[in-house]
Chain A
């Protein structure tokens, strides 16, 4: 008897809430994400007096009563002037936000447990905007946007976990010019950042690191091209003769040595981290990847989902870390 009615009430409340957030996209923080650019207009900017503003209003009332009671017209004029200026604070705060357009969100790279620098880029506006404040969770920044150029503000966000992290709801606010009224709007730009796994603080190197079979295995592979050739001269060690090119060219050619490779290639395998808890396995692999990248090695990352590499360089490093970040 009561349950259907309660369900209907819940549904009605949800509909009302949905309509409210559609009409007032900036009022509440709990709502779906928005596609960029997000332009602030009167439908999503809210203005309320600050605590100081309320106190100031009380002060103005006292001044008004005093001036009227003592029939002091000069004091009344002063009160009116102060009041009219203070009232402009409401419009000033609104104007600071109105017409502002968030164009892009640029996220840096981050590790779980660390900070990520997120840059919010706003479109150029016709006038300078002072006294803007942005909050994302505990992170906050105050900034001003100059006229005629796209403006930018950076936030340092905390990243607790690896994987995709959505941008938290942003509260863009301003109490400019006098701090008597606060205008604000919630922004939920559709932006997410990939947070790389935490790297292990220390631990063993990859199992096959420095193994003698490493180079031997490479020698036989098809992709093993010589770095260059030159004519054979007497006294050259015969094991350096490039036989195949010599056969093609009809004269004896000597293979030039590759520049001495200080580090051998690595195979970083998921299986090699067996015995550790799941997250620690990921952290260890992440450390190995970073170590390999720092030592300018070529490496292969073998994960249950697939194999990356062999390759080297920062692109490969980022790809590996991303794959690790997105492990279940």
Chain B
């Protein structure tokens, strides 16, 4: 009978089912809600049936194989893509288990499980996820071992697989570091067509509110020197010039780069930006120069050459005290005073009144506006009442409730209406400073909008109107500022603090593993004098090291100590010497067991019985061809032989 055609035993099927269930659970987070529970039920049903030796009804299986793609298409509209692909793969894995009746099927199912397991990492490469996925290899490998004929008990299987995985880990890390990375993908554009995240180049009502409830990291900043205080950590991402009455956009005019005169020594820092799938690159205040692979907009915000599809690191020097664009060109002035025709008459009237009262002095107009926000009954809330057609009028005179985008938008509108050139800046503010690790973690929820006003002799000056309403927004962050205004329970303080503190582990993981790309790999071998590492030298190094490891393992195997006289024989020899001291000697041709029996016949009943048992036990252990629980039996015999006294 062909060995591969045998039915896998119950134990291997249990391990296989466990593997499939673990894969299913790891995928559950991104599968549609209707899929995992029926699959788990199917798996449980199949397990019950297998235990009773039943086959899964073939007709039902064909039906399910047909129904699964239809259900996926019904849910996603297509079979192709990451999410539908994952749903299909997980479903097929479970269906593969329903037809597993032979060793061969079970092995294939393990291979499929390994592949589906890997696809779970397409949805997130966090440390936790990676550890869980790698841990699922354990039951998968134990399944393969259980399918081997002559495998030991379940505990031995699990121990064996765990040991193999542990031994493989250093080799895997070595291979991981040295496997040559691709600098350009072979096919496809990874992650294309996915939703963009982070600040976008258009500030529509509610756009930032979406971000404020998103807790995922936006970027991390490592400073070469001291971390600047929170109130100075304004990261500009995009400058918005044009207002159409609803949305702010950058506008399309081609302007020259604004000249910059730094007044304080610049700060040097490195930003590690999460994938955003867009080109905006946040930077602290005003960078002196664009980093490699990036370019400046006129207002000195940074743009990447390509959408950021994977984590991107860039190092910058920024001025925090500066004069930006001290001489405003007429074109810029026109843009910075643009207002939608006929919109928001009450706001315009208010601004005109301020202008008359202050005689057009910039600082005084700004002060008037901030005073209005501070004393005018405004409140800060992430869930403002809806605004009508005249957005700014409604906000300033009716609802008086909103968050940064409302304040920035209304403030810039007021400035422009009062004749001061102004623009909206969107980006991030604050972030969590991890003093222990010396970096700042900025989350999407740290997204912010503020204003820049051009003042004669000073250039563009940052004004943050939100700070006038809610100083805590700047000193504590958006979520803290929203406390008591409908913040969900999970944004409570201690949890946020804990989460921010353990972020250090995630950052290390992201830096060391997830962000280990072709660029950083190239610099890897410089300290060994290979500079820069081409993929050939990496592959050569990998091959040499793996070969050396293999040779060491082989040498260890070949020089393994030979078995000495086995433990049973040793214990018997001791027993025989003890009997010899009492005058009992075995003749050369006498088998050991027979000798013990002969001695037993001359002894009083009690030791005779014990010696007789030792004799039969010895014969059984040495000569019987039934190795059932032998290790235990051998140990037991040795103990009894040692305790035997005449």
Contacts and interface: CB of A to CB of B under 8 A. Distances in A.
B298 interface: no
Contact of A77 (B141, B513, B554, B630): B513
Contacts of A59: 111, 114-115
Interface string A127-167: 01011110000001011111111111110000000000000
A81 B164 contact: no
B567 A148 contact: yes
B630 A130 contact: no
A154 B560 CA distance: 28
A249 interface: no
A76 B176 contact: yes
Contacts of B115: 59, 62-63
Given A52-B107, A130-B148, A177 B161 contact: yes
A273 interface: no
A31 interface: no
A271 interface: no
A188 B567 CA distance: 28
A67 interface: yes
B179 interface: yes
Range of interface residues on A (Cβ < 8 Å): 35 or more
A83 B186 contact: no
Contacts of B418: none
Contacts of A82: 114, 137
A178 B125 contact: no
Determine which residue in A66, A82, A143, A176 has the highest number of CB atoms from chain B within 10 A of its CB, and name it.
A82
Interface string A56-99: 10010011111111111111111111111101100110110011
Contacts of B625: 119, 152-154
B22 to A, nearest CB: 14
Given A66-B118, A125-B563, A150-B566, A73 B150 contact: no
B558 interface: yes
Interface in B172-190: 172-173, 175-176, 179, 181-182, 185-188, 190
Contact of B185 (A62, A71, A92, A151): A71
Contact of A178 (B145, B567, B634): B145
Nearest to B515: A73
Determine which residue in A59, A73, A95 has the highest number of CB atoms from chain B within 10 A of its CB, and name it.
A73
Contacts of A308: none
B201 interface: no
A131 B148 contact: yes
Determine which residue in A68, A71, A128, A132 has the highest number of CB atoms from chain B within 10 A of its CB, and name it.
A71
A111 interface: no
B606 interface: no
B165 A81 contact: yes
Contacts of A143: 150, 627
A74 B167 contact: no
Interface stretch (B127-135, B338-346, B468-476, B585-593): B127-135
A88 B111 contact: no
A124 B567 contact: yes
Contacts of B176: 73, 76-77, 80
Contacts of B3: 140
A78 B165 contact: no
A42 interface: yes
A72 B557 contact: no
Contacts of B622: 149-150
Interface residues of B, number: 76
B54 interface: no
B164 A85 contact: yes
A241 interface: no
Contact of B566 (A72, A132, A148): A148
B517 interface: yes
A126 B561 contact: yes
Nearest to A60: B114
A169 interface: no
Nearest to A64: B179
B113 to A, nearest CB: 11
Interface in B114-148: 114-115, 117-118, 121-122, 125, 129-130, 133-134, 137, 141, 144-145, 147-148
A56 B107 CA distance: 10
A62 B187 CA distance: 13
A154 to B, nearest CB: 5
B130 A94 contact: no
> Main secondary structure on chain A at its contact with chain B?
mixed
B627 A151 contact: yes
Nearest to B112: A59
A88 B145 CA distance: 13
A179 interface: yes
B254 interface: no
A95 B176 CA distance: 27
Contact of A176 (B148, B173, B515): B148
A71 B180 CA distance: 11
A179 B148 contact: yes
Interface string B596-639: 00000000000000000000000001111101001100100000
B514 A74 contact: yes
A142 B179 contact: no
B118 A83 contact: no
A295 B41 CA distance: 66
Contact of A69 (B134, B165, B172, B187): B187
Contact of A68 (B122, B181, B568): B181
B160 interface: yes
Contact of A149 (B186, B187, B568): B568
Contact of B631 (A94, A147, A178): A147
Contacts of B514: 73-74
Given A124-B566, A149-B630, A152-B624, A78 B160 contact: no
B168 A85 contact: yes
B152 A76 contact: no
Given A77-B176, A131-B149, A131-B151, A144 B627 contact: yes
A128 B152 contact: yes
A52 B134 CA distance: 21
Contacts of A300: none
A300 to B, nearest CB: 31
A74 B151 contact: no
Contacts of A178: 141, 144-145, 148, 164
Contact of A123 (B125, B129, B133, B563): B563
A185 interface: no
A152 B616 CA distance: 17
Given A69-B182, A94-B557, A178-B141, A130 B129 contact: no
Nearest to A66: B118
Contact of A144 (B150, B168, B513): B150
A98 B557 contact: yes
A63 B179 CA distance: 13
Nearest to A56: B111
Given A91-B553, A151-B627, A178-B164, 19 more contacts: A59-B114, A71-B310, A72-B121, A73-B125, A74-B513, A77-B130, A78-B134, A85-B137, A99-B563, A123-B566, A124-B567, A125-B563, A130-B151, A142-B150, A148-B567, A148-B634, A149-B634, A152-B625, A179-B107
28 contacts: A65-B186, A70-B191, A73-B176, A73-B513, A73-B516, A77-B134, A78-B121, A78-B134, A80-B171, A80-B176, A80-B179, A81-B168, A84-B171, A85-B167, A99-B563, A119-B625, A123-B566, A124-B563, A128-B156, A142-B150, A143-B150, A144-B627, A150-B622, A154-B625, A175-B148, A177-B161, A178-B144, A178-B148
Q: Which 5 A-B pairs have the closest CB atoms?
A: A124-B566, A142-B149, A84-B168, A74-B125, A142-B150
Interface of B: 3, 104, 107-108, 111, 114-115, 117-118, 121-122, 125, 129-130, 133-134, 137, 141, 144-145, 147-152, 156, 160-161, 164-165, 167-169, 171-173, 175-176, 179, 181-182, 185-188, 190-191, 310, 513-517, 550, 553-554, 557-558, 560-563, 566-569, 621-625, 627, 630-631, 634
